[in-house]
Amino acid sequence: MGYSIDKRDVISVAFVGFASLGGFIMGFDTSVISGVKELPALFADGLGRRLGIIVTSILFMAGVGLQVGAPGIAAFAVGRAITGYGLGAMVACIPTYQSECAPKSIRGALVMGSQLATTIGLMIAAVANQAALKVTGEKSWRIPIAIQIAFAGVLCIGMFFLPESPRYYIKKGRNEDALRAISRLRARSKTDPAVVEEYEEMVKSAAASELDKSGYLDCFRQGTNKTRTRILTGLGFLGTQQLTGINFIFYYGTTFFVNSGIKDPYLISVLTNVVNVVATFPAFVLIDRLGRRTLLIWGAFFLCVFQFIIAIAGVTIPVDNMAGQRMLVAFVFLYVSAFAVSWGPGLAMTNATNWAVNFGISYSIPYLVNDGPQSLGLGARISLSRTKGLTLEQVDMLFLNSTPRKSATYRKQLLRESNSPPSKMAFQA
């Protein structure tokens, strides 16, 4: 089974999908141990998307190597700081690279590949941690950390063979290189009408952006392009993604299961990550079939319901009530599934917010788990626009001329004007 896409777009799928390995590394690192991330915009904008990923991969591996060989806490902390910075910068470059290179009809699904890779990384790290329980001495924690170097190495080497983002080339005035990059990504000749049309659309968009050139402080000024609205949409989404409470499961799940009286809590943590991986696959179909906004609204509703039930069960069911413990585990699985399908898939400044709220949640969440969050559906309905099937340039027009509430209607107008019907992401046998 698979998506209904042009066979020539398989090249784009392969190129953009490979970059999702960075998401795997993020998931593995997050599951092994949490760290501090910094604002990484200069890597993507200064070095380029492709080279930015390569450099941050090397930085990440250097930090991991320092952790593995650390003789004490001080050296380990320095290694964590280097790894955290490299990882934060890497996961800012990767979604940018993917969104700028992917065909618009499957952009959401391809970028969502990073989320799938993250969930797989979380799962494998959980398995590695459980296996390390059988190892004695310092090797029990050094080995799981060292494994990360292998995956980062594959990403680093593989990126040398992938094309740079054509939009980055245009931004730097290298238009001929941009045309070649589009040709390679779409597996068509440079004279192909579709390639030429996409290239011209990118050039026009870049020219318009150049006329409205601004600095980082201008990100928080509304202006004619509704810049503040766009920034706050990204900041709000990734911040709220963390506030759903999902990192309670991935940071403190084992402790929670132990305190709840569940036997073999490490195995339950592994199964939780397996559920996370499996539940991510339906999002590939739903994210462009139903739209991101609809998924977020319904996902928030079910997250609220499941977490409320988990909260009640956690404080009312005795630790010796096995039936109650099974029910608790079942609703944890349902909660993780709801997140993986909706808020999981949902880049430099927004990722900074993601990591900042990530840190706050990972520190404070043990005190919050039994309360349950307020419904997040209203925030998604008010704040997020529908963008499925649109090019990045059309998304620009959507933010400029519409509001989240009216975005569905304006999106249809844009698709009609470009003679591009909504993408059909039907799941085929």
> What are the residue ranges spanned by the domains of the chain?
1-162, 171-213, 215-384
Let me know: does 234 contact 350? Beta carbons within 8 Å.
Answer: yes
Neighbours of 46 (CB within 10 A): 10
**261: which 2 tokens?**
């009286």
Structure confidence at residue 59 (pLDDT): 92
Q: What is the predicted pLDDT for the residue at 374? A: 42
User: What pLDDT, on a 0 to 100 scale, did the predictor assign at position 66?
Assistant: 93
pLDDT of residue 225: 63
CA dist 157 to 82, 105, 151, Å?
A: 20, 28, 10
pTM of the model: 0.56
DSSP for residue 72: S
Residue 192 tokens read as 């192909």
Q: What is the pLDDT of residue 36?
A: 28
Q: Do domains 1-162 and 215-384 have the same CATH topology?
A: yes
Per CATH, the number for 1-162 is 1.20.1250.20
**Contact of 307 with 372, CB cutoff 8 Å:** yes
Q: What is the pLDDT of residue 30?
A: 47
Residue-level pLDDT at 63: 92
Q: Buried b vs exposed e over 242-271: b needs ≥16 C-beta within 10 Å?
A: bbbbbbbbbbbbbebbeebbbeebbebbbb
The pLDDT value recorded for residue 409 is: 79
Tell me the CA end-to-end span of the chain in Å, nearest whole number: 5
Closest by Cα among 228, 382, 245 to 303: 245
Mean pLDDT in consecutive groups of 10 residues from the start of the chain, 429 residues: 50 52 49 35 67 90 92 89 85 79 70 71 78 78 87 90 89 89 87 88 79 62 67 70 75 75 77 81 75 81 89 79 84 88 57 47 42 42 63 74 74 74 39
**Pairwise CA distance, residues 127 & 277, whole Å:** 13
CA distance 308 to 332: 11
Report whether 55 contacts 96 (CB < 8 A).
no
- Rounded-to-5 percentages of helix, strand, coil across the chain: 75, 0, 25
Give residue 7's pLDDT: 52
- What is the reported pLDDT for 273? 79
Q: Which amino acid is at 68?
A: V
pLDDT at site 334: 92
Chain centroid to Cα 173, Å, comes to 29
Q: How far apart, in whole angstroms, are the C-alpha atoms of residue 61 and residue 58? A: 5
What one-letter code names the amino acid at 26?
M
What is the pLDDT at residue 60? 92
Q: What are phi and psi of 16, to 5 degrees?
A: -70, -35
Q: What is the rounded CA–CA span in Å between residue 201 and residue 77? A: 47
Q: Which two tokens stand for residue 403?
A: 């509001």
The rounded distance, in Å, linking the Cα atoms of 250 and 109 is: 24
Radius of gyration, CA atoms only, the chain: 22
What would the two tokens of residue 114 be?
């990073």
Give me 300's structure tokens: 């928030």
Which amino acid is located at 66 in the chain?
Answer: L
Determine the pLDDT at residue 362. 45
d(CA 97, CA 17): 11
For residue 94, give the nearest of 117, 121, 126, 62 by alpha carbon: 117
Cβ within 8 Å of residue 76, ≥6 positions away = 66, 67, 70
Note the CATH number of domain 215-384.
Answer: 1.20.1250.20
